[in-house]
Amino acid sequence: MSNPAQRLSLRRPDDWHVHLRDGAVLQAVAPATARQFARAIVMPNLSPPVTTVAAAEAYRERIRAAVPAGCGFTPLLTAYLTDTIDPAEIERGFNAGVFTACKLYPAHATTNAAAGVSDLARITPVLETLERIGMPLLVHGEVTDAAIDIFDREAVFVERHLAPLLRRHSALKVVLEHITTAEAADFVATGGPNLAATITPHHLHINRNAMFQGGLRPDFYCLPVAKRERHRLALRAAATSGDPSFFLGTDSAPHLRHAKEAACGCAGIFNAPYAIESYAQVFEEEGALERLEAFASLYGPRFYGLPPNEERITLVGEAHTVPARLHLNDAAGEAVELVPFHAGELLRWRLSPEGDV
């Protein structure tokens, strides 16, 4: 006699950090996020970046057109901060419900970050505006100083830039995105209610060895780069702790296979297709499945001042192998090739296609 499969019902989660891209690739990747999540904070690092209300509205329409009709997915847009962005434009977009948050990329920190902020002092009026209107600042927390070792860039950013920033703007709501270090986790855990962090599935599963396992493995290269094992364990402890300062943000960042497997491969891991299954596995391994719903579906909306989703999803305890490659149709109907996170691996949980059953 076979045992009935285990089932786990939770409120539909949201993804508080995702890259949906644009153009033909948007059509290929957005459905994966819309299938798993009700809402997503969409990163603005397009080329050119999303810096105006008009650009964000147009992008939001392109996203809506790229997800299946009637799927109920809501994209939440962000403004890309530059040295010269006008605070009045940000405030107008926030009041109009177009911008949910602002994204701070230190200039040159990552993909399409060349137009990012070169010096925090240059955006003081923007930060004062965000503080006044209660609009969250989402931070890519890495220094770009070439003299700082790449594995230390997050911890140095926290000490050199984030701590002083929070002292100067004590009412600012800040999300330190995709944290990768014990230092960042400690800083956020003790930082008070205006400070939170997102944690990706990949930083919970892999440490830096994954990039070099038997050769150079570009599919595990992302920014901030995965760190030592002790940091991964600290992130697992933070994510599963029940501390509302830590919530789900996949940082799913698709690049076509040929752009990853290149002499100068792009940073980013495409984890959207199996994201909730990936997190569920971590929470199960940590003996904390009962805390998955709060991390995935409650603490994010609480920080952003939004209601949690009423709809529910079901995860079924049915092991399945993630495909080695995905061939997804782009806007022109051409198949694009992407390698999903967990390619070729077994995952313990499967998102039920029937919704809450």
Residues that bind ligand DOR (CB under 6 A): 19, 45, 110-111, 140, 222-223, 253, 267-268
- Residue 251: active-site member: yes
Beta-sheet strands, E only, within 12-94: 15-18, 39-42, 74-80
**308 secondary structure, DSSP code:** P
| Cα 85–Cα 88–Cα 89 angle in degrees, nearest 5 | 60
Among Zn ion, ligand DOR, none, the one that 111 touches (CB under a kind-dependent 5 to 8 A) is: ligand DOR
Spatial CA neighbour of 187 closest among 167, 202, 168 = 167
Tokens of 164: 């002083």
Report the nearest approach of ligand DOR to the CB of residue 199 (Å). Answer: 14
154 is a site residue for Zn ion (CB under 5 A): no
Q: What are phi and psi of 310, to 5 degrees?
A: -85, -30
Those residues whose C-beta lies under 8 Å from the C-beta of residue 225, and which sit 6 or more positions away, are 150, 151, 180, 208, 211, 267
Q: Which is nearer to ligand DOR, 27 or 45 (CB)?
A: 45
Active-site annotation holder among 14, 15, 251, 330: 251
Number of residues in contact with Zn ion under rule CB under 5 A: 1
Among ligand DOR, Zn ion, none, the one that 45 touches (CB under a kind-dependent 5 to 8 A) is: ligand DOR
Report the nearest approach of ligand DOR to the CB of residue 259 (Å). Answer: 10
Q: Are 225 and 180 in contact (CB under 8 A)?
A: yes
Q: Which is nearer to ligand DOR, 222 or 282 (CB)?
A: 222
Which residues in the 242-271 window bind Zn ion by CB under 5 A?
A: 251
Report the nearest approach of ligand DOR to the CB of residue 326 (Å). Answer: 17
Report the nearest approach of ligand DOR to the CB of residue 256 (Å). Answer: 11
Q: Which residue type sits at 189?
A: A
Among Zn ion, ligand DOR, none, the one that 267 touches (CB under a kind-dependent 5 to 8 A) is: ligand DOR
Q: Are 68 and 341 in contact (CB under 8 A)?
A: no
Question: Annotated catalytic sites, by residue?
Answer: 251
Q: Which residues of this chain interact with Zn ion, rule CB under 5 A?
A: 251
